[in-house]
Amino acid sequence: MLKHRVIPCLLLQNSGLVKTQKFSNPKYVGDPINTIRIFNEKEVDELLVLDINASKTKNEPNYDLIEEIAGECFMPLCYGGGVTTVEQAKRLFAIGVEKITIQTGALDDLSLVTEIAARSGNQSLVVAIDVKKNLLGQHKLYASATGKTLSQGWLDFLRSAVSAGAGEILVNSVDKDGTLGGMDLALIKSAASVCSIPLIALGGAGSLADIKAAVEAGASAVAAGAFFIYHGPHRAVLITYPKYSDLVALLDF
């Protein structure tokens, strides 16, 4: 097991996989089951699957699809999207999901985090925090379901999520999403400075060097989407994942 996990992040929309850029213009990139089978062959340690429409449309998770995905996964599965109740979380765990990621539900009421953590354990719950820069370049808490920045400070929300019972924090840079241009290291450093639990960084990874830089900035784990999906300057779809030996050489420090 690597000291620092490297986690492919797949985005679901209408039962297919898509990839966004700065949370916009989702482009179809393939079938989730076929993609997961490829990641199985590449011995991925963990997989993050996010339904980007569920909270926007106020729909519950697509349990049938998630169960099919969980059944194909040889690695631990973390799912996020549309989870607003303890009973929904319980149902997801029952069909094979190891961890649940919550964002909209946590923004609405952090007691949901506390209740799920109390029932299923802190280790089973990740709170996702999307952050977007304003015109002045300041990091602001962003609600992906509404597409709006919020007045609450994102670091204050991070602290509150930890206090509420989150087992991990996922910090996602909206501005870096899908760009392959490097991660927001200042964002990661700020999050790491106040986060007392494992921190997953997401958004912008375009190379192994970017992943290493994120870990050096304080991330416990790094998630990436486009880096594992696109290949070449024309962004041809090619599912890839580094060799385990390369990741050990890169991150075991």
Type of residue at 216: E
End-to-end C-alpha distance for the chain, whole angstroms: 13
For residue 78 the two structure tokens come to: 């973390």
Catalytic residues: 130
Long-range residue pairs from 228-232, CB within 8 A, at least 24 positions apart, any chain: 228/8, 229/19, 229/29, 230/19, 230/180
For residue 244 the two structure tokens come to: 């385990």
151 burial type by CB count under 10 A (0-12 exposed, 13-18 middle, 19+ buried): exposed
